[in-house]
Structure 1
Amino acid sequence: MNAQLLRIGDDIVAMHAVVTDEGVTLIDAGLPGDRRILQDALAGAGRTLDDIRGVVLTHGDGDHIGVAEWLRAEHGVPTFVHEADAGRAKGEKAPSSSGGAWKLGPALRFFGTALRRGALRTTHLGEVRTVRDGDVLDLPGAPEIIGMPGHSPGSIAIRIPAVDALFVGDAITTRHVLNGSEDVQIGPFSDAPEQTPESLERLRALPERSIVVGHGPIFRGTAADMLAALKR
């Protein structure tokens, strides 16, 4: 299978597209104002919104569901989310408000970016398709679902060997959005951060060499390398 990984957005808030001969799978959906950057990124790969077969959410927070409802309502693209985060993605449950220590510069960059890219216009999902641990989805790249509770009850890792990548959402961050720390660390705004290290252990033996996070640069190395670097 020919497959390409597109990083869309930036190290503050990113989504990713897995582009294959069979179409496109979108991993997370950025912020509400990200419609144009998504279209431009797909155009650069010779694709359009009509090539997107599904959106798979690493979890249901507002900075990960951005364009998902627009894609569903106007383009018929289904969104997949773990059953334990379905209510979160539909706006029925609130995420944690605890983000940890702040530094003025990084925090202003995060909130400024979020505002410029439409964070105040978040539209929750009207309909989702739920997934469970161990599912392999019939989508381009054959995403494999690995349950990763901690950041939220329904947080997942998404394994896509075709692009040599594990997508871990906000389970970890490689650049803390509120204080700028570039340590590999548990993501802020987590419901149960003490649960995340145990969840991450499920990834240890996997061979993929790109650990893709929602906030911060991609970690280049295996899950075992990431666990060795994780700040405890």
Structure 2
Amino acid sequence: MNAELIRIGDDIVAMHAVATDEGITLIDAGLPGDRRILQRALEAAGRRPEDIRGVVLTHGDSDHIGVAEWLRTEYGVPTYVHEADAGRAQGEKTPSAPGGAMRLGPTLRFFAAALRRGGLRPRHLGEVRTVQDGDVLPLPGSPEIIGLPGHSPGSVAIRIPAVDALFVGDALTTRHVLNGSEDVQLGPFSDAPEQTPESLERLRDLPEQTIVVGHGPIFHGTAAEMLGALKR
């Protein structure tokens, strides 16, 4: 099977398309104003939104559900989210603390990007398909769900061997949106950050060499190497 990983957006907020001969699986959905970003990226790859077979969320936060409801209502694309984050993706309010030191410049850049790309007007999902730990979804690339509770109760890693990639959402970051640090570290705005390191141990022995975080550059190396670099 031919498969390609397409990065869409930037290191502040990105989504990723796994494009195969069978269609596209979209991992996370950016911010609400990212429709044009998505359409341009797909066009450059010779694809269209109609090729998307499903959106799989690493968790249900508003900067990850972005264009998912538009894809559902416009093209009939289903969104998959862990059952513990289904309410979050559908608008349930949840508490979270920023986490980590803050610096003015990076914080302003993050909130400016969110404002420019519609982050203050989240469009929550009217319908979701729930998944559980261990599920392998019937989508291009056969994404495998690995539970990673901590950032949120329903945070997951998504393993797609076809593109040698492991998506970890906001469990980890390689560029902290509030202070600009490029250390590998836990993501901010977490519900239970003390739970995340134990959850991440589930990834240690996986062979994938591309670790995709929710915010920041891709980490090129195995999960074990990334955990070895984790700032504690």
Cα distance in 1 for residues equivalent to 2:177 and 2:207:
28
Contact 1:104 1:179 in 2 (8 A): yes
What is the aligned-residue RMSD (CA, Å)?
A: 0.7
Name the SS for the 2:120 alignment partner.
Answer: helix
Other-structure match for 1:145 = 145
Structure 1 partner of 2:102: 102
Q: What residue number does 1:177 align with?
A: 177
Say which SS state the counterpart of residue 26 (structure 1) adopts: strand
The aligned counterpart of 1:44 is 44
Distance apart, 1:74 and its partner CA: 1.2
Corresponding letter in the other structure for 1:156? V
Give the 4+ runs in structure 1 shifted more than 4 A.
Answer: none
Corresponding position of 2:189? 189
Cα pair 1:88 1:95 within 8 Å, conserved: no
- Checking the alignment, whether the CA contact within 8 Å between 1:95 and 1:152 is kept in structure 2 is no
In structure 1, the residue matched to 2:228 is 228
1:24 corresponds to: 24
Aligned partners of 1:201 and 1:93: how far apart in 2?
29
Matches of residues 115-126 of structure 1 in structure 2 within 5 Å?
Answer: 115-126=115-126
Match of 1:134 in 2: 134
Query: Do the aligned residues in 2 keep the contact of 1:100 with 1:189 (CA within 8 Å)?
Result: no
8 A contact 1:174–1:182 mirrored in 2: yes
* Secondary structure class of the residue paired with 1:64: helix
Distance 2:81 2:222 in 1: 25
Unaligned runs of 5+ in 1: none
2:80 alignment partner AA: F
Q: Secondary structure at the match of 2:55?
A: strand
Whichever residue aligns with residue 225 of structure 2, its letter is D
1:1-20 alignment, distance < 5 Å: 1-20=1-20
Q: Which amino acid aligns with 2:82?
A: H
Q: By how many angstroms is 1:120 displaced?
A: 1.5
Match of 1:207 in 2: 207
Report the CA distance between 1:95 and its aligned residue: 4.4
- Whether the 8 Å CA contact 1:26–1:54 is kept in 2: the answer is yes
Name 1:89's counterpart in structure 2.
89
Cα deviation for residue 101 of structure 1 reads: 1.6
Shift of 1:92: 1.5
Determine if contact 1:148/1:156 at 8 Å carries over to the other structure: yes
